[in-house]
């Protein structure tokens, strides 16, 4: 992990300020225009209409500033406010990646009503959702560096909040802009037949534990061409029955610590290069995700080149995964290299078409090939996705093919999802129903022959897709599922999921949410029926900052779980209860 001393940071800042005064916009492929000074947050007025998002509520559009007499050479976008058309150096930054719809996506209400518990208590009936860009949900599936606070620049905005003073503040004679914020989260967890453990003294035991975490970030722009983003976090698991797993705790570390630089333009849109520690999030998150559910989240270290324009975006990245270590600062896994190219086309609002190529080279001797030989793997993944909605119908299709080497065997595997949904938007509580089939291939005869066919799930958000108990991962699995999502009121989200799990190959293992094998019958006698899981979730949006999330899950254990158990407790039906409180600012 790279670390900059205060001396180096000061020299870098002063150098960038000096360069920004002499570089002309034409040198960056842009025409020059005057820059006007922004008002303070106390000078803002009435709000414009917010732009719709992609299923998480409404995200605000960037707006304008009041004019001033000072002019500077660099330019960016323009907008219109009460003072007329003005120029704003920071109007088009940060480069917000449109949040892609996750699988089995919901469509949050936007009609008039009460959008939080505080709205109900204060009798604040809203004609439209608040502009606050944080999701009205206890989980935060995207990254803080992609949150859009640009609506605060509008001098006519009246949708204000006490934490606005921390966002998009200009200084250094309007050459710099800083945004700060963060999150505090606490969760109580109870799990019966926890983790489906099958060996050792903890096999079949129940588990009760607490998880706490804090995230604090600072987002600094030095002109519109250079960005520094740092996000610190601390994660704790002070009370537990079973020993915590690595993602449960990390006393003090950086989740994100990177620099962005605008390195050119393509089709009049900037190309950015990001270097350092960074979260990655793409498409449905079935392959690449920050993994919001765990206490520490997932992050990488390396470089990324990205470009975004209207309906299209393209990313190239080369990174290494960061390993959690609760006793010292985290470092990367030097035996793993993860690279990829990801293209997204958005033909219209809410529709996403993805095409991607990913390569994972892991030389750690953690994997078992033919005849019990252990070694590394090289996995190429080629895939595509199409999701969207029209006339109340919803769809989500994704297919992936993998090839490469697995220890001393060849690798050829596949996975796909086919899901249809319907949005009853004219009914009470605007329910959404999804039916889905999810498949990830397994190996018919593990350890034999020259070919491994078990799908490698890479770095997914498995908790969202394959049940909340987290004992089923996206490897060697078939899942027929149904989802019902509805809103008893606009500040209450409720969801019921039903998953029916079968192993793709009865002789291959059952893999958990981390992709690790937890149960296996190499004879295949235990069959392939894992079980049926029911998940119940309700989220109470208290106000712009506070959410309460409660979920309960119960699995009716199938023949495979019962017959592979080594203890009486290991045959029990798995259960999970989670109660989580979140505060964000």
Residue 561 above 50 pLDDT?
yes
**Of 105, 67, 226, 92, which Cα lies nearest the Cα of 150?**
92
Of the pLDDT bands very low, low, confident and very high (cuts 50, 70, 90), residue 88 is confident
The C-alpha atoms of residue 315 and residue 102 are separated, in whole angstroms, by 18
**Of 402, 507, 401, 504, which Cα lies nearest the Cα of 448?**
507
Respond yes or no on whether the N-terminal peptide bond of residue 94 is cis (omega within 30° of 0): yes
The C-alpha atoms of residue 77 and residue 91 are separated, in whole angstroms, by 5
Contact call for residues 294 and 248 (beta carbons, < 8 A): yes
Contact call for residues 176 and 220 (beta carbons, < 8 A): yes
Model confidence pLDDT, tens digit, residues 275-287 = 999 999 999 999 9
Specify the 3-state DSSP secondary structure of 144: helix
Contact call for residues 138 and 183 (beta carbons, < 8 A): no
Contact call for residues 239 and 209 (beta carbons, < 8 A): yes
The C-alpha atoms of residue 67 and residue 35 are separated, in whole angstroms, by 9
Segment among 26-35, 165-174, 556-565 with least mean pLDDT: 26-35
Token reading at 424: 């009853």
Helix residue ranges per DSSP H, 352-446: none
Q: Which pLDDT score, from 0 to 100, does residue 82 have?
A: 41
Token reading at 364: 């750690």
The C-alpha atoms of residue 547 and residue 167 are separated, in whole angstroms, by 21
Count of CA atoms in the C-beta half-sphere (13 A) of 431: 8
Cβ of 569: how many Cβ atoms within 10 Å?
16
- The mean of the pLDDT values for the chain is 87
Q: Which pLDDT score, from 0 to 100, does residue 432 have?
A: 98
Give mean pLDDT, residues 29-36.
Answer: 31
Contact call for residues 548 and 123 (beta carbons, < 8 A): no
Q: Which pLDDT score, from 0 to 100, does residue 462 have?
A: 84
Of the pLDDT bands very low, low, confident and very high (cuts 50, 70, 90), residue 172 is very high
- Burial tier of 363 (Cβ tally within 10 Å: 0-12, 13-18, 19+): middle
SS (H, E, C) 507-530: CCCEECCCCCEEECCCCCCCCCEE
Q: Which pLDDT score, from 0 to 100, does residue 55 have?
A: 36
Contact call for residues 476 and 520 (beta carbons, < 8 A): no
The C-alpha atoms of residue 468 and residue 551 are separated, in whole angstroms, by 8
Category of 268 on φ-ψ map: left (φ > 0), alpha (ψ -120 to 50) or beta: left
Specify the 3-state DSSP secondary structure of 11: helix
Of the pLDDT bands very low, low, confident and very high (cuts 50, 70, 90), residue 563 is very high
CA dihedral over 78, 180, 549, 190, signed as positive or negative: positive
Token reading at 414: 């596949």
Reported as type and span, the H/E element at residue 379 is strand 374-390
Q: Which residues pair with 316 in a beta bridge?
A: 305, 341
Specify the 3-state DSSP secondary structure of 562: helix
Residue 463 above 60 pLDDT?
yes
Reported as type and span, the H/E element at residue 564 is helix 559-564
C-alpha dist (Å) from residue 326 to 84, 138, 141: 53, 25, 23
Write the CB contacts of 110 (distance below 8 Å, at least 6 apart in sequence).
52, 57, 58, 128, 129
CA dihedral 299, 301, 303, 304 (to 10 degrees): 0
Write the CB contacts of 416 (distance below 8 Å, at least 6 apart in sequence).
397, 398, 399, 400, 438, 439
Contact call for residues 312 and 345 (beta carbons, < 8 A): yes
Give mean pLDDT, residues 410-415.
Answer: 98
Q: Which pLDDT score, from 0 to 100, does residue 86 have?
A: 53
C-alpha dist (Å) from residue 69 to 78, 365, 474, 484: 16, 65, 59, 56
Count of CA atoms in the C-beta half-sphere (13 A) of 171: 9
pTM of the model: 0.85
Query: What distance lies between CA 177 and its chain's CA centroid?
Result: 25
Give mean pLDDT, residues 353-367.
Answer: 97
Residue 227 above 50 pLDDT?
yes
Token reading at 583: 């505060």
Q: Which pLDDT score, from 0 to 100, does residue 67 have?
A: 29
Q: Which pLDDT score, from 0 to 100, does residue 7 have?
A: 41
Q: Which pLDDT score, from 0 to 100, does residue 144 have?
A: 97
Reported as type and span, the H/E element at residue 304 is strand 300-309
Of the pLDDT bands very low, low, confident and very high (cuts 50, 70, 90), residue 77 is very low
Cβ of 259: how many Cβ atoms within 10 Å?
18
Write the CB contacts of 42 (distance below 8 Å, at least 6 apart in sequence).
none
Contact call for residues 331 and 325 (beta carbons, < 8 A): yes
Ordered domains of the chain (ranges, CATH):
117-584 (2.40.160.100)
Write the CB contacts of 334 (distance below 8 Å, at least 6 apart in sequence).
320
Give mean pLDDT, residues 481-493.
Answer: 98
Model confidence pLDDT, tens digit, residues 279-308 = 999 999 999 999 999 999 999 999 999 999
**Of 241, 256, 342, which Cα lies nearest the Cα of 297?**
256
- Phi/psi of residue 396, each to 5°? -155, 105
Segment among 57-71, 194-208, 378-392, 429-443 with least mean pLDDT: 57-71
Q: Which residues pair with 78 in a beta bridge?
A: 87
Specify the 3-state DSSP secondary structure of 18: helix
Model confidence pLDDT, tens digit, residues 519-536 = 999 999 999 999 999 999
Model confidence pLDDT, tens digit, residues 38-60 = 222 222 223 333 333 333 333 33
């Amino acid at each position: 992990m790279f670390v900059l001393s205060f001396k180096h940071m000061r020299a870098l800042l002063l150098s960038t300020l000096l360069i920004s005064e002499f570089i002309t916009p034409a040198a960056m492929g842009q025409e020059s225009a005057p820059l006007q000074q922004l008002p303070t947050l106390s000078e803002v007025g009435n709000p414009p209409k917010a732009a719709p998002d992609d299923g998480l509520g409404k995200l605000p559009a960037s707006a304008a500033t009041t004019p001033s007499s000072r002019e500077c050479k660099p330019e960016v976008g323009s907008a219109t406010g009460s003072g007329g058309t003005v120029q704003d150096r920071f109007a088009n930054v940060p480069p917000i990646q449109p949040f892609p719809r996750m699988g089995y996506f919901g469509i949050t209400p936007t009609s008039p009503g009460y959008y939080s518990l505080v709205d109900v208590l204060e009798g604040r009936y809203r004609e439209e959702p608040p502009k606050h860009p944080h999701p009205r949900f206890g989980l935060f599936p995207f990254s803080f560096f992609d949150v859009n606070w640009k609506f605060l620049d509008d001098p006519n905005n009246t949708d204000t909040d006490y934490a606005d003073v921390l966002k998009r503040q200009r200084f250094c004679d309007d050459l710099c802009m800083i945004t700060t914020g963060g999150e505090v989260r606490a969760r109580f967890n109870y799990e019966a037949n926890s983790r489906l453990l099958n060996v050792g003294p903890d096999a079949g035991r129940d588990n009760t534990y607490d998880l706490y975490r804090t995230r604090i970030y600072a987002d600094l722009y030095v002109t519109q061409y250079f960005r520094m983003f740092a996000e610190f976090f601390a994660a704790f698991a002070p009370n537990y029955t079973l020993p915590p797993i690595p993602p449960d705790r990390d006393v003090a570390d950086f989740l994100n610590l990177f620099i962005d630089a605008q390195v050119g333009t393509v089709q009049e849109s900037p190309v950015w290069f990001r270097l350092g520690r960074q979260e990655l999030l793409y498409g449905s998150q079935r392959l690449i995700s920050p993994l919001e559910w765990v206490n520490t989240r997932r992050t990488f270290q390396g470089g990324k080149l990205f470009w975004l324009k209207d309906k299209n975006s393209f990313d190239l990245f080369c990174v290494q995964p960061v390993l959690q270590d609760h006793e010292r600062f985290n470092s990367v896994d030097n035996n793993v290299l993860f690279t990829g190219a990801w293209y997204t086309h958005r033909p219209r609002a809410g529709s996403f078409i993805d095409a991607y190529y990913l390569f994972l080279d892991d030389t750690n001797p953690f994997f078992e090939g033919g005849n019990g030989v252990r070694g590394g793997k090289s996995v190429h993944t080629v895939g595509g996705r199409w999701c969207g909605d029209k006339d109340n119908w919803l769809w989500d299709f994704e297919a992936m093919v993998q090839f490469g080497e697995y220890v001393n065997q060849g690798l050829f595997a596949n996975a796909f999802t086919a899901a249809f949904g319907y949005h009853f938007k004219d009914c009470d509580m605007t329910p959404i129903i999804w039916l889905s089939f999810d498949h990830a291939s397994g190996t018919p005869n593990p350890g034999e022959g020259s070919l491994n066919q078990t799908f490698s799930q890479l770095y997914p958000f498995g908790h969202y897709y394959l049940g909340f108990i987290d004992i089923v991962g996206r490897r060697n699995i078939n899942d027929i599922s149904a989802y019902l999502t509805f809103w008893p009121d606009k500040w209450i989200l409720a969801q019921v999921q039903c998953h029916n799990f079968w192993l793709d190959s009865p002789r291959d293992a059952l893999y958990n949410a981390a992709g690790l094998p937890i149960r296996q019958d190499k004879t295949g006698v235990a069959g392939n029926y894992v079980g049926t899981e029911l998940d119940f979730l309700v989220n109470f949006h208290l106000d712009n900052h506070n959410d309460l999330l409660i979920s309960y899950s119960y699995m009716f254990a199938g023949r495979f779980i019962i017959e592979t158990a080594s203890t009486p407790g290991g045959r029990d039906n798995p259960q999970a209860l989670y109660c989580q409180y979140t505060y964000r600012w």
